């Protein structure tokens, strides 16, 4: 029962994280990963089929979000470096 409760809590937390703004969402996703997947595996989740499908959907959606967020952040850093270089001259 403890494993089921932890699994439901993880799913509920991921649903909540999905509603956050971009910067908060990225930080919260990293924390969610650390809390639920670093020491465990996705196979350890004890969820019903419909809950697993929802978890799968959220995981893929948020993986794609993190990829885009990483690229946006990289481009922003490049832009800031160019601006800094421009201002020095």
Q: What angle do CA 33, 67, 52 make, to 5 degrees?
A: 45
Summarised one tens digit per residue, pLDDT across range 12-66 is 999 999 999 988 999 999 999 999 999 888 888 999 999 999 999 999 999 999 9
Measured CA distances, 77 to 19, 43, 70, 82 (Å): 26, 37, 11, 9
**How many of the other CB atoms lie within 10 Å of CB of 68?**
11
Residue 69 domain boundaries:
2-88
Q: Which residue carries 């809390």 as its tokens?
A: 35
How many domains, in total, are found in the chain?
1
């Amino acid at each position: 029962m403890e494993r089921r409760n932890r699994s439901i809590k993880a799913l509920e937390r991921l649903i909540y994280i999905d509603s956050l703004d971009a910067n908060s969402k990225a930080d919260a996703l990293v924390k969610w990963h650390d809390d639920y997947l670093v020491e465990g595996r996705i196979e350890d989740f004890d969820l019903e089929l419909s809950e697993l499908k929802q978890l799968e959907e959220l995981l893929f959606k948020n993986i794609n979000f993190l990829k885009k967020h990483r690229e946006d952040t990289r481009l922003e850093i490049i832009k800031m470096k160019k601006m800094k270089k421009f201002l020095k001259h």
